[in-house]
Structure 1
Amino acid sequence: MALDGSYSATMDSPTGSETFGSHILSNSISSLTSPKISRNSSSHISKAYRQASQLFLTRRLPEALSTVLPLITPPTDGAADVNGDTDPAPVARASRSTRIKVWSLYITILNAILELDPDEGKDAFGTHEWRTLCTKVREGEVWEEVVQFGYHGVEGDVDADVVINLATLLLAHARSQVLNQRRLENYLASSTIPNLDISQRLEASQSPRFSSRSRRSHSKGANGADTPRDLNARVKILELYTLHVLLRNNEWDYAREFISASSILDEERRDAFLQALQSLREDQDESERREREEKQRQEDKLKKDIEEARKLRAENEARERRRIEEERARREGSEIDYGIEQTPSTPGSSKARHKRVSSSLSKSSARSPGSKKKKAVTRRPSMSARALMIIANIRNVIEQMGASFKSNPILLLKFIAFVASIGIMLGKRSVRERIQRILGTGWNKVKTTAGMGVKVSYI
């Protein structure tokens, strides 16, 4: 298998032999000099982990977070050594499996908190604490917190499973994947370089604060993976880095080059990665093509709607012009009745009346040859015809308004705002009284004017 071949190649190479010898020597030194975690401390961490897990499973996120925080936070009253370093968090002294479980649970709790609705999160944690937690994850501060509190500030000492969880968390919630890319690159670079300084290992193994760091550093080979589990975790990190983070940053060419030059991947995995990258590229191109087509379809639909609204407006205007011309024609046809009055016969007035009738008839006959025919055809519309005409006009106005609102939605918002402002104004008593006074004054003027018109007509 490729895994066995890679491991044998590492063991057979000079660098692999030196690393393997350093690994055995470091294990011996650590077993003689590094202090063991007390049974009470290990029991306390396990008990707190189980309690936090139960609280998380029952969706009691605030209690679960408060239970796991003491395990990953350095003690506030810890004394500093000569280098100014404080005591690490309790989880840093735990075994590798316990350390991975605690950090993974913490990251999982943070992910569940950020998936809450804003109102629900603020009710559960408070506005300030909720925003602090969201900022910690979205700005990538949680990664630095894990490195400093759990791994003594050494990027390459972070367990691969914890790195996978951190990268997945930032991939889901970070505002930008630039920080995620930089962190993964630092981890891949630092975890690949083996540490062959025996004096540094001796010094680190004698310090209880760096015992976990020593155990972590000598467990890696030249390629950062000495066991099948480490290799699988390493491949998973490469998958997140090349097929997710780099693609989110639109670095397709660099991802292809990184996969082709990676020493962790064998030929089979490299081909699978390149094939997956090609498939993702095709999917993105297809998605972009569909988006362009959808955008073009929406633009065409908008143009079509605008054109239909323009045609409808033109038809309405033509219909209105025909109606106005018909009204004008009816008024002109009825003008031949002007001047004919029914007055009592008086001596000497029949001759003058005959002259007026003759003059009116001569004018109407000289107006147009078909005026008599138009008069004969034209008749006053009935009440039902007038009602239908009014309804048609109202429908035309509504259609014009609908077309205008469809082509210009802002006009609808302005109309709604205008109606709302009128409603607000009419809701005030002073405004209503003032409008009533104005209408009353206007109505009195209209009645006065109508009365004067009646008097003049009577005279």
Structure 2
Amino acid sequence: MVAQSDFIENTSLDVDDLGLSASILSHPGSSTSETSSGRARELYKRSKRYFIGRQFVDAYTTIHPLISESSTLYRSVVENTTMRHNVWVLYIALLDGIIGLPEEELKAGFPKDTILSIRNAVWDCTIWDQVESAYNKDPSTSLVLNLSFLCLKHPKRPKLIESKVKSYLDLTTGPVTPDILKLRECYATGVLPACTKWTEAQKYIEETDFSSSQRDQLLIKLSRLKSEYDEMTNRKTKLRKKDKQHNTAEQRNLADPHVHNPDKAPKEIPVPSLPTFEQDMLAWLRFVLLFARTSLGKPTTYMLITVIALISFQSSRRRLKQAMTDLLEKAKITIAMAARVRYL
């Protein structure tokens, strides 16, 4: 949503503000005696040609004196019903075309203040106020319909559009014309859905003086629009959930520096399995114990060798081999001492 304060309040612009030559406003064959009505008619035709050729800058510059209250031609347009209608229909179509331009093309063709003014007219619905002023608060239904389509195509403030259309429909009296029916249809299947007022839209269709066939068609259309809206909403919800999961995963990865630097990741140090050392150890212990029992026969010597064996067996794997070597040396010394004692 665009805040109103972001735009200038006055939508009227001076021709010179556009940075273009004002000579385009005068016809080569014109004279001072030409009436204001004739000049207005000529400017309208020229602006229309520019619009058809998608020369939106020239079209806007040319038509602007006809819709600006400060212009001397404004009164002549207001007093001519047909000219007034044609001018405002063209201006509405022109605003739609300008807003649809790419940003680069828009900035290249119009000054910043003009761009803000045009966007303000559509996004904040200030063009309604301009039209109501030109029509003395009583614009034609066909023009209100065009305004509704324009603002719904660029719905920055859908609730404001709803207020405008609803107020006009509530004040409408007299016979129901085709334009009134089209405006009611637009309100039920365009304005209210834009405000996500689906129940109110259905109720409005059921209670409004539509024909049976038209009412059924509108209800079907409303149901289809609701289904499309729900599908779009679900899709957006899934995308948000997926993005959230993706962001969470990225944050987790950023917290682990090894994810982005696999070469620096700590590598597992394989724990050496030493079944051969353990088996040799056990075999050597059995031999030592058996030798101590059979050769020495002395409890103290037997206990000494057993303690040495147990201590060696409890050593860590990294020192297992060294422990075996030490045990072997101790055993040799013990056996040698036992043999010497035996011969004495």
Equivalences for 1:196-207 in 2 at 5 Å? none
- 2:94 match: 109
- 2:121 match: 136
- 1:276 match: 221
Asked whether the 8 Å contact 2:141–2:180 carries over to 1, the reply is yes
- 1:147 match: 132
- 1:440 match: none
CA distance in 2, matches of 1:295, 1:116: 30
The Cα of 1:40 is off from its aligned counterpart by: 5.2
Q: Partner amino acid for 1:290?
A: R
Residues 1:76 and 1:293: Cα distance change in structure 2 (over 3 Å): closer
Residues 1:173 and 1:307: Cα distance change in structure 2 (over 3 Å): closer
- 1:70 match: 65
Q: Partner amino acid for 2:50?
A: L
The Cα of 1:240 is off from its aligned counterpart by: 1.9
CA distance in 1, matches of 2:264, 2:324: 25
The Cα of 1:373 is off from its aligned counterpart by: 11
Matched, 1:183 2:167: no
- 1:453 match: none
- 1:237 match: 183
- 1:250 match: 196
- Structure number with greater CO (CA < 8 Å, separation at least 6) is 1
Q: Which digits, 9 at most, give the CA deviation of each residue in 1:238-284, with x for residues without a partner?
A: 22211111111121111111111112x21111111111111111222
Matched, 1:47 2:42: yes
Equivalences for 1:381-420 in 2 at 5 Å? none
Which structure 2 segments of 5+ residues have no match?
Answer: 1-33, 273-310, 326-344
The Cα of 1:110 is off from its aligned counterpart by: 1.3
Q: Partner amino acid for 1:103?
A: W
Which structure 1 segments of 5+ residues have no match?
Answer: 1-38, 79-87, 193-221, 226-230, 327-364, 376-459
Q: Which digits, 9 at most, give the CA deviation of each residue in 1:66-93, with x for residues without a partner?
A: 2112222335569xxxxxxxxx632222
Equivalences for 1:158-237 in 2 at 5 Å? 158-192=139-173, 222-225=174-177, 231=178, 233-237=179-183
The Cα of 1:166 is off from its aligned counterpart by: 1.0
Q: Which digits, 9 at most, give the CA deviation of each residue in 1:161-206, with x for residues without a partner?
A: 21122112211224211111111112112222xxxxxxxxxxxxxx
CA distance in 1, matches of 2:196, 2:135: 31
- 1:292 match: 237
The Cα of 1:100 is off from its aligned counterpart by: 2.7
Residues 1:169 and 1:259: Cα distance change in structure 2 (over 3 Å): same
CA distance in 2, matches of 1:288, 1:66: 41
Q: Partner amino acid for 2:135?
A: Y
Residues 1:304 and 1:139: Cα distance change in structure 2 (over 3 Å): closer
CA distance in 2, matches of 1:116, 1:110: 10
Equivalences for 1:304-319 in 2 at 5 Å? none
SS at match of 1:322: coil
| Alignment root-mean-square deviation, CA | 3.7
CA distance in 2, matches of 1:77, 1:106: 18
The count of residues paired between Structure 1 and Structure 2 equals 247
Q: Which digits, 9 at most, give the CA deviation of each residue in 1:81-122, with x for residues without a partner?
A: xxxxxxx632222243x4332111111111222222344323
Equivalences for 1:30-41 in 2 at 5 Å? none
Q: Select 1:59's aligned residue among 47, 54, 67.
A: 54
CA distance in 2, matches of 1:272, 1:94: 39
Asked whether the 8 Å contact 2:65–2:71 carries over to 1, the reply is no
CA distance in 2, matches of 1:374, 1:170: 93
Q: Partner amino acid for 2:197?
A: E
CA distance in 1, matches of 2:264, 2:112: 59
The Cα of 1:52 is off from its aligned counterpart by: 0.3
CA distance in 2, matches of 1:175, 1:307: 38
Q: Partner amino acid for 1:94?
A: N
Asked whether the 8 Å contact 2:158–2:191 carries over to 1, the reply is yes
Q: Select 1:94's aligned residue among 80, 83, 98.
A: 80
CA distance in 1, matches of 2:231, 2:266: 49
The Cα of 1:41 is off from its aligned counterpart by: 5.3
Residues 1:291 and 1:138: Cα distance change in structure 2 (over 3 Å): closer
Residue identity over aligned pairs, in percent, reads 22
Asked whether the 8 Å contact 1:73–1:90 carries over to 2, the reply is no
TM-score by length of 2: 0.61
Asked whether the 8 Å contact 2:37–2:77 carries over to 1, the reply is no
Residues 1:308 and 1:102: Cα distance change in structure 2 (over 3 Å): closer
Residues 1:251 and 1:308: Cα distance change in structure 2 (over 3 Å): same
CA distance in 1, matches of 2:70, 2:252: 72
Residues 1:167 and 1:370: Cα distance change in structure 2 (over 3 Å): same
